[in-house]
Structures are given as structure tokens and as C-alpha cells.
């Protein structure tokens, strides 16, 4: 198993990195697809309970999946 970081974001100003949503979830998984599934479940709980950081925005489940970006695990 490796540790993957999954970033949920809606960057609106790529040059400046401006976003309304920015949530990192770290999960241990055997593959990128498994990491995405596990992280999305975790982010879904946060989304339902308090909304996504920075501003507590709540999104649909399909939008949550669209916002996800799996970062490659570190080689360390």
C-alpha cells in the first residue's frame, strides 16, 4: 500500500491559484482508483457535515468527484 493525497479543488484563477474549495485527503491504497474512492467517501462526509473548506461550500456528489485530483504518491 502507498499513501496518496487527493485534492478536491475548484481553482478559478490558475495563475494565482485562487479557489473557493481546497481540501486535501490522504489515504492508504493499492491503486490510484482505490485512493480516489476512499478519499471521495471521506470528503463526502465533510461536504455533508460542514461543507468544503475554505468557505463551507456544499456540492453534489457528482461535482465532488469532478473536483478530485489524485496526486502521485511520494517515493519517500
Please give the pLDDT value at position 13.
57
Distance of alpha carbon 48 from alpha carbon 18, whole angstroms:
23
Please give the pLDDT value at position 12.
65
**pTM (predicted TM-score):** 0.86
Q: Is-contact 6 21, C-beta < 8 A?
A: no
Q: Would the pLDDT of 59 be above 80?
A: yes
Please give the pLDDT value at position 69.
93
Picking from 19, 11, 69, the residue whose alpha carbon sits closest to that of residue 40 is 69
| Per-domain residue ranges of the chain | 2-71
pLDDT digits (tens, 9 = 90+) for 12-57: 655 566 778 999 999 999 999 999 999 999 999 999 999 999 899 9
Please give the pLDDT value at position 18.
72
Amino acid at each position: 500500500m502507498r499513501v496518496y493525497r487527493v485534492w478536491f479543488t475548484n481553482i478559478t484563477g490558475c495563475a494565482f491559484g485562487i479557489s473557493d474549495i481546497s481540501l486535501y485527503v490522504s489515504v492508504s491504497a493499492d491503486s490510484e482508483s482505490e485512493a480516489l474512492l476512499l478519499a471521495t467517501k471521506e470528503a463526502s462526509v465533510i461536504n455533508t457535515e460542514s461543507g468544503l473548506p475554505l468557505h463551507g461550500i456544499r456540492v453534489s456528489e457528482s461535482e465532488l468527484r469532478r473536483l478530485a485530483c489524485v496526486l502521485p504518491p511520494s517515493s519517500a
